[in-house]
Amino acid sequence: MFEGKMLSVETKQPLISVIIPAYNHERFIAAAVDSVLQQTVSDLELIVVDDGSTDQTGNIVKSYEDPRLSYYYQDNQDAYNTLNRGLSLANGKYIAILNSDDVYTVNRLERLLNFTAEKGAQCVFTNVIPISDEGVEFTDPDFGWNTWHAKNRTWYFGCRDLYAGFLKGNFMVTTSNLFMTAHAAQTVGKFSSLRYLHDYDYIFRMMLAFPNSVHYLDNEKLLYYRIHSGNTLSEAAITGRLQDQELISKYMVARIPEAYRNDVITGAKRLIELGNELHDVKKALEPQKPQGVRPALKELCRSLKSWIAKKCGNLMS
């Protein structure tokens, strides 16, 4: 295999193009590739775009001899650019995405193909199975991610409106969950240059482009979604939430008639301001307690001195 499109005797258009954007996932890439090549639907092409991996990811992919697989290497350009390159290379009638640390169930593509034909859908996504680095499912309902996902799904089940559901939270979860027609992908266009929320932005644009043709198989878990144990709270949590605010503001008004949009935007901004003001007022009214080890030590010494003084006073009397 070489770092470019593999030549194949088959020249007909593949039924499905699966795109894997890969970056430094030597532990997981083989499982991802296997889960595509072992699908119950074999009429597919698998396009792996390596976004500048510095580990063994590329060598592992290039060790496969399946003629359906193509491997491309590029200097690191971030996930959305990697996905966009994959889209530009896809030849299938349908397009699916799989991140290099996630895994398809063996019948995922067959099920989605049948459902798409049955419903005339342009885009379909399913429920997911959260797994650890070792591939163990997180089943505890009190596990943080499960609580978050359940909250978003509960909101959707209450309104049964996909668009309103997504305003509450991204229950599609990941780009790995996207399955769409080539026509839908061409209509919606490229992934936006958002580092963390390009999938969230993409599904909103998909729903606006095809308001009655995006479907959620909410009772079927056809994707293993990996939650890494090394993930920690960082500046990314702030950046992600800032991007989230912008997206919600943008798509909240997208379905509102032009004449009322300014009212909604103004009211929404004021609600955010009020939330911040309430937080500041509550913080100012709370009793100030010493924080950290040194203030606590000082407080302990002061208490001990007071106690000793009282004891000495009692003994003297």
Q: 180 and 93, same structural domain? A: yes
Contact between residue 177 and residue 126 where contact means Cβ atoms under 8 Å apart: yes
Q: 214 and 174, same structural domain? A: yes
Mean pLDDT of the chain: 89
Q: Residue 156 and residue 316: Cα distance in Å, rounded?
A: 73
What's the pLDDT band for 2 if we cut at 50, 70, 90?
very low
- Residue 308: the pLDDT is 57
Q: 131 and 184, same structural domain? A: yes
Sequence-distant (≥ 6) Cβ neighbours of residue 299 within 8 angstroms: 290
Give residue-wise pLDDT tens across range 135-187.
999 999 999 999 999 999 999 999 999 999 999 999 999 999 999 999 999 99
- Residue 237: the pLDDT is 78
The percentage of the chain sitting over the pLDDT mark of 70, rounded to a whole number, equals 85
Domain for residue 106, yes or no? yes
Q: 119 and 45, same structural domain? A: yes
Q: 243 and 196, same structural domain? A: no
Q: 264 and 137, same structural domain? A: no
Domain for residue 156, yes or no? yes
- Which residues constitute the domain of residue 72? 16-231
Q: Residue 113 and residue 244: Cα distance in Å, rounded?
A: 31
Q: 115 and 57, same structural domain? A: yes
Give residue-wise pLDDT tens across range 204-251.
999 999 999 999 999 999 999 999 876 555 667 788 888 888 899 899
Q: 38 and 73, same structural domain? A: yes
Q: 212 and 85, same structural domain? A: yes
Q: 109 and 254, same structural domain? A: no
Please provide the distance, in angstroms rounded to a whole number, between the alpha carbons at the two ends of the chain.
Answer: 95
- Quick one: 141 exposed, middle or buried, by C-beta within 10 A (0-12, 13-18, 19+)? exposed
CATH number of residue 155's parent domain: 3.90.550.10
Picking from 167, 197, 231, the residue at the C-terminal end of a domain is: 231
Sequence-distant (≥ 6) Cβ neighbours of residue 65 within 8 angstroms: 1
**Of 36, 42, 199, 57, which is closest to residue 103 (Cα–Cα)?**
36
**CA separation, residue 73 to residues 60, 99, 111, 282 (Å):** 13, 16, 31, 53
Q: 166 and 55, same structural domain? A: yes
Q: 262 and 193, same structural domain? A: no
| Cα dihedral sign, 238-263-167-78 | negative
Domain for residue 301, yes or no? no
Our count of domains for the chain comes to 2
Strands (E), the chain: 16-22, 44-51, 69-74, 94-97, 103-104, 123-131, 179-181, 214-226
* Residue 122, phi then psi, degrees to nearest 5: -100, -25
